[in-house]
Every structure is written in structure tokens, then in C-alpha cells.
Amino acid sequence: MNGELILFFVLAIVAISAALGMLFSRNAVYSALFLILNFATVAVFFLLLGAPFIAMAQVTVYAGAIMVLFLFVIMLLGAEQIQHQARRGWQRPLAMLLTLVLLAESAYLIFTRSDVLTVLQPAAADYGSPQSIGMLLFSEYLLPFEVTSILLLAAMVGAIVLVKEDKKSGGQK
């Protein structure tokens, strides 16, 4: 057993326990904190795979930006404590059914199509470096990149329009 494998298993245990902690925590703030821990662990996985750029982007975007906004919303709405509200009765059986289908599909794939699951070759030295990602984004993946930016712009404009005060009807209602 080499060091990398030990590290992988330790990280995997941390990641899975953080995910479980997020699901079972009764307090929404603790759930958010568990999710942040999970994102951080995934970032370390990317580092192990030799992709520091993606690891840093993972921490900055998910752990640093998105989860802070999540925490803001949870704290401002005072939604920390889960209330025992009436659940829709059909949700639980449906969730169980879908999970079983997913598990069966994965099991089928793993046991019948094991030929596609070969050991991956280690990545090239400059794989995932800022330069190579930039070159790929602006050449091969230019169209998806631009489409994404237009989508983000539309979301931004939409958010601004939603919170803008309506001048004609005399400000806030």
C-alpha cells in the first residue's frame, strides 16, 4: 500500500462522512458546514489527480463563493432549525424507488461492462495548468464557453430586474 492510496481512503472516508453529516444534520447551518468540508475534500482529490487549477477553482467557487451565499440565506431567514412540517407522503417511496433504480443501473454497468473501466493513464505534466486550460477554453470549447457567459449574463440581468423598484407604482409595495 503506497502513501497515495492511504491518502485516498482517508479522504474518501472524510468526504462520505461529510456528505452523510450534511444529510442527517438537524441544523441547516451545520449541514452547510458539512457540505463545505465535502467540497474541500473534493478539492484535495483534484490535487491528488494532478489538477491544481481545478482544485483551486473548486475551493474558490464552491466553498468560497456559493456556500457563503447559502450560509447568508440560511442565517438571514433564520432557517437553521428544521420544523416538523407535514411531508408529502409520496416523496419518500419515490425517492427510495429512484435510488434503487440508480443502484441497479450502476451494478449492471460495473458487472457487465467491466471492459470500459480500465485503469486510467496518468495525466501529462502540464495537464490542467492555467495555460492549457485557457488555450482549450478559447479554441476548442469557445462556443460552449461563450454560451455559458451569455447564460450567466441573462441570469445577472434577471436578478437585477427582479429586485429593481418599480418607479411607476410608487416604489415599494
Q: Which residues bind other proteins (CB under 8 A)?
A: 2-3, 29, 33, 36, 52-53, 56-57, 59-60, 63-65, 68, 71-72, 75-76, 129-130
Work out the angle at residue 62's Cα, subtended by the Cα atoms of residues 57 and 66, and round it to the nearest 5 degrees.
130
Instruction: Between 82 and 109, name the residue whose CB sits nearer to other proteins.
Output: 82
**Quick one: DSSP state of residue 170?**
T
Instruction: Between 79 and 104, name the residue whose CB sits nearer to other proteins.
Output: 79
Instruction: Between 69 and 86, name the residue whose CB sits nearer to other proteins.
Output: 69
Alpha-carbon distance of 4 to 89, in angstroms, equals 45
Q: How many CB atoms lie within 10 A of CB 36?
A: 21
Instruction: Between 2 and 118, name the residue whose CB sits nearer to other proteins.
Output: 2
Shortest Å, Cβ 113 to other proteins: 33
Q: Scanning the structure block, which residue is given the C-alpha cell 491518502?
A: 7
Q: Where are the alpha helices (DSSP H) in 50-166?
A: 52-57, 67-77, 91-112, 130-138, 142-163
Shortest Å, Cβ 91 to other proteins: 30
Shortest Å, Cβ 164 to other proteins: 15
Shortest Å, Cβ 60 to other proteins: 4
β partners of residue 92: none
